[in-house]
């Protein structure tokens, strides 16, 4: 196993409540994930990131943690987690957990026993706004007679990282899981850990609204990431720090890799998810990211997650041809791809009627969190979120060699076979309007036509290794490459 194993890896995000239910109570669980490891190994993914699995009142479905070293009883036990880690490892799959350092649940014992771990003020001190609800980020607490800060829901008080006793608590939490064989963490709101010590007002920019300059994105946060990186590197193999550093400012985002490459190992590239599936928009974003990244930094590409919803809907409007273009892109850009459960099926947003909405956010993120359809029957009994449409499901697509699932599996296998597809430099190639093409190292060219007209690319030589339409694979290209609308090709170059 190479040191920085994540650079060659394909990551897979599991939303535990919605992935697989082992005991038929309608809520997915850890034993369910273990039962489906065979599927994940067959698909070819290298690591699984689990959204928070800890005890939580579930105001924000696990992102309001009340015990960082426990397991939520809905999801199982610590033994179930240990079993998942060891059975996954036996199949060559690593397990990542989700670390939530910005805030806890108000039900966390710290909130009453260690109020000094939180941010308090006698009066509302500034204009900071809560992300959930949009009102003031300060809430009056009767018991203390003071206001506390909550950048997210009222039930999610922000931690005060200026208190020097907070950092050692989190180092203890990191070690607890690393010692159990957890391969790393996805770090929730990795850009927000510290808040301005003076609690200055966030600036309001006319026409653009509020900029979270003081409530988030403080320079001191970098020191914490550096400390965690040092800690992660005391393990063998080093543990992975994958950050949700949610900045759309490419320079600011690139800063989370550390000036000396000593902070995050991977950071999600949210800029791409804010672009349409459009060649001009996306190649511009990728060029900006490539230009801004420190030489040794590695981005993490995704098109879906539990917050932003499903790429098959947002980027492709349910069109499987365009879903495959998006998957081909995510798996062949320079960086580490992270699939969200169901992406491999082309799963679209679920239908969640207003009466079934459980999310605290507005608009609801529930359509992107509906249960994984394992078969046409679904394989769920009265699930916590509705599973209305099972037309795209694992069993049927596994049996169909033309399916998006088989395409994704072949794409992952090809990425493994052609080392340049994961390790080679990204060089954009000339392409007509509507198309986007790039070379990866010396061994591969990827070409996507995201427009409405057929396009022709020139000067490409090699053998067609994979196409989104599954036609022409194995054919030789000597110069000209014709691409119909909504199609993509990977050429193994000579
Ligand atoms: C992150 C999570 C999101 C959660 C929020 C607050 O953005 O991805 O699901 O609601 O943090 O913890």
The DSSP code sequence of 53-97 is: -S----SSTTSS-S-TTS--TTT--HHHHHHHHHHHHHTT-EEEE
**pTM of the full predicted structure?**
0.98
- Tell me the pLDDT tens digit for each residue of 378-432: 999 999 999 999 999 999 999 999 999 999 999 999 999 999 999 999 999 999 9
- Tell me the pLDDT tens digit for each residue of 290-347: 999 987 899 999 999 999 999 999 999 999 999 999 999 999 999 999 999 999 999 9
- Angstrom distance (rounded) from CA 379 to CA 346: 18
Specify the residue for token string 């006319």. Answer: 206
Q: Please compute Rg for the chain using Cα positions.
A: 23
Active site residue 188: yes
> Does ligand 1 lie within 6 Å of residue 443's CB atom?
no
Residue of minimum CA distance from atom 9 in ligand 1? 307
Residue of minimum CA distance from atom 12 in ligand 1? 63
Tokens representing 344 are 């491999």
Mean pLDDT of 31-59: 98
pLDDT of 2 above 80: no
Task: Enumerate residues 6+ apart whose C-beta is below 8 A from 186.
Answer: 49, 96, 97, 98, 99, 242, 243, 244
Q: Which is the catalytic residue, given 155, 196, 244, 265? A: 244
Percent share of the chain, pLDDT over 70: 100
pLDDT value of position 383: 98
> Does ligand 1 lie within 6 Å of residue 306's CB atom?
yes
> Does ligand 1 lie within 6 Å of residue 49's CB atom?
no
- Angstrom distance (rounded) from CA 358 to CA 493: 49
- Angstrom distance (rounded) from CA 268 to CA 336: 9
Mean pLDDT for the chain overall: 97
Percent share of the chain, pLDDT over 90: 98
- Tell me the pLDDT tens digit for each residue of 433-485: 999 999 999 999 999 999 999 999 999 999 999 999 999 999 999 999 999 99
pLDDT value of position 494: 81
> Does ligand 1 lie within 6 Å of residue 194's CB atom?
no
Task: Enumerate residues 6+ apart whose C-beta is below 8 A from 471.
Answer: none
Ligand 1: atom nearest CA of 246 is 7
On whether the CB atoms of residues 371 and 347 are closer than 8 A, the answer is no
Ligand 1: atom nearest CA of 306 is 9
Could you tell which of 50, 56, 61, 63 is best to mutate to test the pocket of ligand 1, judged by most ligand atoms within 8 Å of the CB?
A: 63
Under the banding of pLDDT at 50, 70 and 90, the label for residue 1 is very low
pLDDT value of position 296: 84
Mean pLDDT of 72-79: 98
């Amino acid at each position: 196993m190479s040191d920085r194993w994540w650079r060659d890896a394909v990551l897979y995000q599991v939303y535990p409540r919605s992935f697989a239910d082992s005991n038929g109570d309608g809520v997915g669980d850890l034993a369910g994930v273990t039962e489906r490891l065979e599927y994940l190994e067959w698909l070819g993914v290298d690591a699984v990131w689990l959204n928070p699995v800890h005890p939580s009142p579930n105001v924000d479905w696990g992102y309001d943690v009340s015990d960082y070293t426990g397991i939520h009883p809905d999801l199982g036990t610590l033994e179930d987690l240990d079993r998942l880690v060891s059975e996954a490892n036996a199949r060559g799959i690593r397990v990542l957990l989700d670390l939530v350092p910005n805030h806890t649940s108000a039900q966390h014992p710290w909130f009453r026993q260690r109020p000094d771990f939180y941010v308090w003020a006698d009066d509302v001190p500034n204009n900071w706004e809560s992300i959930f609800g949009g009102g003031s980020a300060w809430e009056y607490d009767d018991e203390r007679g003071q206001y506390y800060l909550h950048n997210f829901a009222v039930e999610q008080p922000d931690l005060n990282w200026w208190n020097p006793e907070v950092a050692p608590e989190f180092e203890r939490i990191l070690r607890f899981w690393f010692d159990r064989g957890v391969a790393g963490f996805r770090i929730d709101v990795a850009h927000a850990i510290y808040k301005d010590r003076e609690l200055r007002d966030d600036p309001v920019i006319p026409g653009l609204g509020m900029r979270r300059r003081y409530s988030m994105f403080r320079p001191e946060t970098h020191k914490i990431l550096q400390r965690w990186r040092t800690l992660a590197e005391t393990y063998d193999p080093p543990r992975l720090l994958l950050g949700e550093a949610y900045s759309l400012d490419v320079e600011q985002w690139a800063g989370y890799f550390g000036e000396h490459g000593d902070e995050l190992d991977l950071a999600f590239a949210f800029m791409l998810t804010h672009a349409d599936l459009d060649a001009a928009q996306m190649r511009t974003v990728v060029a900006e990211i490539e230009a801004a990244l420190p030489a040794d930094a590695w981005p993490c590409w995704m098109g879906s997650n539990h917050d932003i919803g499903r790429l098959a809907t947002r980027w492709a409007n349910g069109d499987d041809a365009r879903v495959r273009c998006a998957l081909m892109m995510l798996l062949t850009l320079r960086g580490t791809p992270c699939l969200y459960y169901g992406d491999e099926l082309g799963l679209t947003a679920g239908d969640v009627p207003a009466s079934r909405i459980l999310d605290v956010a507005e608009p609801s993120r529930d359509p992107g969190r509906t249960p994984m359809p394992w078969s046409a029957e679904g394989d769920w009994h009265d699930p916590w979120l509705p599973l209305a449409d099972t037309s795209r499901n694992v069993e049927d697509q596994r049996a169909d060699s033309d399916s998006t699932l088989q395409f994704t599996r072949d794409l992952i296998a090809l990425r493994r076979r052609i080392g340049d597809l994961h390790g080679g430099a990204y060089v954009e190639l000339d392409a007509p309007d509507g198309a986007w093409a790039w070379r990866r190292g010396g061994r591969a060219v990827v070409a996507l036509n995201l427009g409405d007209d057929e396009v022709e690319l020139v000067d490409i030589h090699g053998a067609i290794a994979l196409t989104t339409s599954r036609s022409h694979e194995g054919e030789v290209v000597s110069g000209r490459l014709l691409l119909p609308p909504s199609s993509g090709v990977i050429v193994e170059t000579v």
